[in-house]
Structure 1
Amino acid sequence: MDVREAALQRAHDHAVRWLGSLSDRRVPAGATVDDVVRALGAELPDAPADTPADVVELLATACEPGLTAFPGGRFYGFVVGGGEPAALAADWLVSAWDQNCVMRAVSPAHTAVEDLAGAWLLDLLGLPRGSAVGFTTGATMANFTCLAAGRDAVLRRVGWNVARDGLTGGPRVRVLAGESRHMAVDLALRYLGLGEPELVPADDQGRIKSEELRESLAAGGPGPTIVVLQAGDVHSGAFDPFAEAIDAARAAEAWVHVDGAFGLWAAASPRYARLTAGCEQADSWATDAHKTLNVPYDCGLAFVRDPGALRAAMGLHGDYLIQDERGDPFDKVPELSRRGRAFTVWAALRSLGRSGVTDLVERLCRHASSFAAGIAGLDGATVLNDVVFTQVCAHFGDDERTERVLGRLLDDGTAWISGSTWRGRRVMRIAVSNWSTTDDDVSRTLDAIRRAAA
């Protein structure tokens, strides 16, 4: 066995042990940052390690106590999926193959897989056939990518070439978003030099009010405009009224972008597709594959109806590049050097099939409903949101008691559920996102919540 094979075998052994421990281990990490630093050793050695396998052994043994069981079935703190088995295995191949997946001529295998996976995604999510699909690091950069295409497009309509002339001296781009939009939208707008969005009032579940959107658009007058809607509020899971909101945006000739980091996947289920009705009329959409689809980190997805608009915003030319007239993967995303994210997405989709993706979405929703029913039966506990998708927000009588319950729950270690502040109250926020969560995981977690609330 050569040194590379020995190192890979050691990594495999530790990975298998780690994954096998998830069903029984405490979910929170058992070591602090300082603990892990001490175990690793803070000083850079003067001499090389004896073997690469020794380095893998040190890394695995020092870091394992400081790992949170994100991939397990009882992590609900953020909207975080686990690694679906085929996608996880494909991700190992991605690192071993070590492809720079930027051009058709240089990475034909990845480009073929990216084309296939992109077409499958458009079909599953009910988005317009022929839309461009870019594979980014996550939903933040997917939002950035789509909004860059939108920014440039609305400025072109009024005769301003942002690629050539920049933003200085150009027309102001208005961006309107619901007051409950995700912070990643604000971050993307900041990166793009567009500043903070104009906020449109939302209802008690976080859904943008379409009539107030129409009034805000009319009050601002004509000019380059972007409207940002959301599929899946981070607290309530609620979906904006797409048909009405997009109709209002179209009347103002605005570009419409949908932030659907986890909620866009509702379209893959006949039972929940009603939540995204009208969404397909937008101009661009962003989501995460490592949320609801459960592809390993990192993998966001940017969809743009007009491939030319995306290519105009993201494409580039280099004399040393071997560019294809049909377009290359790097024409659709911010990065040049990048890993083969489409391999893992294709593996998840091929493994699950259409019915498997539907079952996954509906199973996550069923678990969320079980959490809501279980918590609603506890003394003094109230579920504050309409549980329409995979999010549950609960309050335990007052903010102080809610905070105590959250603290006791983390000390218990059975599950990880984080707190948040929603509509002026501290809440226990449960996000059900992992393919491996079982009915038993939900039952064990509810028992832990009962103990913490007792």
Structure 2
Amino acid sequence: MDEIELLADADTRARRFVAASETRRAFPDAAAIAALAAFDEALTDAGCPADETLAMLDDIGSPAAVAGNGPRYFGFVVGASLPVAAAAERMVLAWDQSASTSLGGPGAAAIEQVAERWLLDILRLPPQSAVGFGTSASACGLTCITAARRKLLAQVGWDFDRKGLAGAPPIRAVVSDVAHVTMIKALRVLGFGTDNLVVAATDGNGRIDPARLPALDDRTILCLQAGEVNTGAFDPFAELIPKAKAAGAWVHVDGAFGLWARASDRLRWLTEGIDQADSWTTDGHKWLNTPYDCAMALVRDPEALAGAMTSDAAYSSAGGEAQKNRTMEFSRRARGVAIWAALRSLGRNGVAALVDGCVTHAQRIGAALEDAGYEILNEVVLNQVLFRAESEAETLAIREAAAASGEIWFGGTMWRGQQASRISVSSWRTCDEHIDLAIAKLRQLKERQRRGARNP
């Protein structure tokens, strides 16, 4: 089988997989997972035929795939890939370019520059800001915090690039007591040390309480959230950011999915004042429904981002607008192309409709589950429904039964020290009928638990 035939076979198999997204189990069954043992084989000397390798990947790997691209998967704030975004990714793979600079991929660089402009437009962020298209909110958060620390140190006369951290004036990081693990990871990797983080208290929904905000100064990075991962809550930016700016602190906002509320007239009030921050992160593979892995670091001061991330070499020199000088990656694929394709296809109205539709679905689930006897633990203002049953045992049993059914899938979490379940509605494929199914299944499982309690 030659190259073109192999690619055609892969395309046929991929189309078949996507076509089954409506009927595929939301989570693979035990037999499909057990079959993965076939991949545990010895590496051969001579190699195996390419078509056989592809067939194995599909025949064994596809049945064991989680249906994150389907309409009944409510886990991890994962959106299904928009067809146009997935198709754009196929073109990028076919181009096979290193999109570090315009020299490596003139077309990719031009498209990513347009994607940057559109992104700042639809998110209503300062138009002079710089965007780095990276792999994840983890990597992009690390990028933003690096730029923040370097800029704050420069303002007190410390040359971070030459002197590093040895002997440097201390920079503090303030995080909420429910900061996302990727934010903590970025700070830990950068050497802040978890014992040194200053923790801000939050209210019952996970929002930083302005009255209990720790003291800030011009050597502080204040890390806020747009969309707490369990509750979907937003920190009160309009109250917190002015305090931080008055103190000379840098404000970073982790908006992995919640930042997309900026695209909605209905939800924008949740983000009031967020445009006054210094940096933001968000993902495309969450609420914009692009393929993995596509995320963005957005920094108000382009020079601060380029200064921190620049990686010019004698054989590859470019300005601060080059993506290799805005992200962690030197060799990279053009992740911004999928963003461009999604935004061009949806437009402002399409993005707003996608976001608003998910919130409407989540609010309907929240109301129905409360009516069915579940405890709803959050204000359902976004796409997150945080809930639990009458006991931890019942909560776990219902979640496991839902996964075993294959009809729906949602994940577990810990909230305020107790087990809870979390439904995230993020997919463009999810319609009213899928919400009806999810509600009916959870009602059924709750009633089954009730009957079991009455008849032990």
Structure 1 pair 385/325, CA: closer, same or farther in 2 (3 Å)? closer
* Partner residue of 2:110 out of 103, 109, 112: 112
- Matched with 1:328 is 322
Aligned pairs (5 A) from 1:319-358? 319-321=314-316, 323-325=317-319, 327-358=321-352
State the TM-score, normalizing by the size of structure 1. Answer: 0.95
Which of 271-280 and 414-423 deviates more? 414-423
Matched, 1:401 2:394: yes
C-alpha displacement of 1:32 = 6.9
C-alpha displacement of 1:237 = 0.4
Paired residues, number: 445
Matched, 1:255 2:253: no
- Matched with 1:198 is 198
- Matched with 1:363 is 357
- Residue identity opposite 1:390 in structure 2: N
C-alpha displacement of 1:371 = 0.7
- Matched with 1:438 is 431
Which of 236-245 and 418-427 deviates more? 418-427
Structure 1 pair 325/419, CA: closer, same or farther in 2 (3 Å)? closer
* Matched position secondary structure for 1:338: coil
Contact kept? 1:210, 1:248, Cα under 8 Å: no
Matched, 1:89 2:121: no
Aligned pairs (5 A) from 1:135-154? 135-154=133-152
Matched, 1:424 2:417: yes
Contact kept? 1:104, 1:329, Cα under 8 Å: no
- Matched with 2:41 is 42
CA distance in 1, matches of 2:100, 2:14: 29
Matched, 1:271 2:266: yes
CA distance in 2, matches of 1:109, 1:32: 45
- Matched with 1:447 is 440
Matched, 1:241 2:236: yes
- Matched with 1:29 is 28
C-alpha displacement of 1:53 = 2.2
C-alpha displacement of 1:16 = 1.1
C-alpha displacement of 1:36 = 4.2
CA distance in 1, matches of 2:181, 2:282: 14
C-alpha displacement of 1:41 = 5.0
* Partner residue of 2:180 out of 179, 182, 206: 182
Matched, 1:388 2:381: yes
Contact kept? 1:360, 1:435, Cα under 8 Å: yes
* Partner residue of 1:304 out of 299, 302, 307: 299
CA distance in 1, matches of 2:36, 2:435: 34
* Matched position secondary structure for 1:45: coil
* Matched position secondary structure for 1:271: coil
Aligned pairs (5 A) from 1:32-71? 35-40=34-39, 42-50=41-49, 52-71=50-69
CA distance in 1, matches of 2:111, 2:353: 24
Unaligned runs of 5+ in 1: none
- Matched with 1:293 is 288
Structure 1 pair 280/20, CA: closer, same or farther in 2 (3 Å)? same
Which of 326-335 and 339-348 deviates more? 326-335
CA distance in 2, matches of 1:37, 1:47: 23
- Between the aligned residues of both structures, percent identity stands at 40
* Matched position secondary structure for 1:217: coil
User: Over aligned residues, Cα RMSD in angstroms?
Assistant: 1.4
C-alpha displacement of 1:33 = 8.7
- Residue identity opposite 2:368 in structure 1: G
CA distance in 2, matches of 1:397, 1:278: 39
Per-residue CA deviation, residues 112-132 of structure 1 (Å, 9 max, x unaligned), is 111100000001001001100
Unaligned runs of 5+ in 2: 448-456
CA distance in 2, matches of 1:210, 1:89: 45
Per-residue CA deviation, residues 302-355 of structure 1 (Å, 9 max, x unaligned), is 10000000011000221111x234631111001101111011111111110111
C-alpha displacement of 1:35 = 3.0
C-alpha displacement of 1:37 = 4.2
